Amino acid sequence: AIQMTQSPSSLSASVGDRVTITCRASQGIRNDLGWYQQKPGKAPKLLIYAASSLQSGVPSRFSGSRSGTDFTLTISSLQPEDFATYYCLQDYNYPRTFGQGTKVEIK
């Protein structure tokens, strides 16, 4: 199975900060990666698909990029509603595998 190594596991940031979260795939997965946001007690919400495409209705402060097997989710200016846990998910092959998650907390 492809392993998705996500970092950091948690971070503290302030409103307005630029935040970067990374996922590294254990092998090449092309652009077959999505990013999800999960708030406590809620189902995950899709933010980014195909590594860098913004899902409909998602604010433009969220963006994704890829460099080889490294994938990055960037929040350009953190808003109060962005405090949550973020997960990457590879859909290159089976089994689908998630990163371990990054919890973004208020500083």
Residues that bind another protein in the complex, under the rule CB under 8 A: 1, 32, 34, 36, 38, 42-44, 46, 49-50, 55, 87, 89, 91, 94-101
Q: Which is nearer to another protein, 17 or 46 (CB)?
A: 46
- Output 16 or 43, the one with its CB closest to another protein: 43
Q: Which residue's structure tokens are 């199975």?
A: 1
Q: How far is the CB of 19 from another protein (least distance, A)?
A: 19
User: Quick check: 36 and 44 in contact, CB under 8 A?
Assistant: yes
The answer to whether residues 66 and 29 touch, using CB atoms and an 8 Å cutoff, is no
Minimum separation from the CB atom of position 15 to another protein (A)? 26
- C-beta of 33: minimal distance to another protein in Å? 9
Q: Please identify, using beta-carbon distances, which residue of 44 and 82 lies nearer to another protein.
A: 44
Nearest CB to another protein, comparing residues 78 and 87? 87
Residue 21 C-beta: closest distance to another protein, Å: 14
Q: Quick one: tokens of 72? A: 């990055």
Angle at 68 between CA 66 and CA 69, to 5 degrees: 85
DSSP letters, 57-104, are: T--TTEEEEEETTEEEEEESS--GGG-SEEEEEE-SSSSPEE---EEE
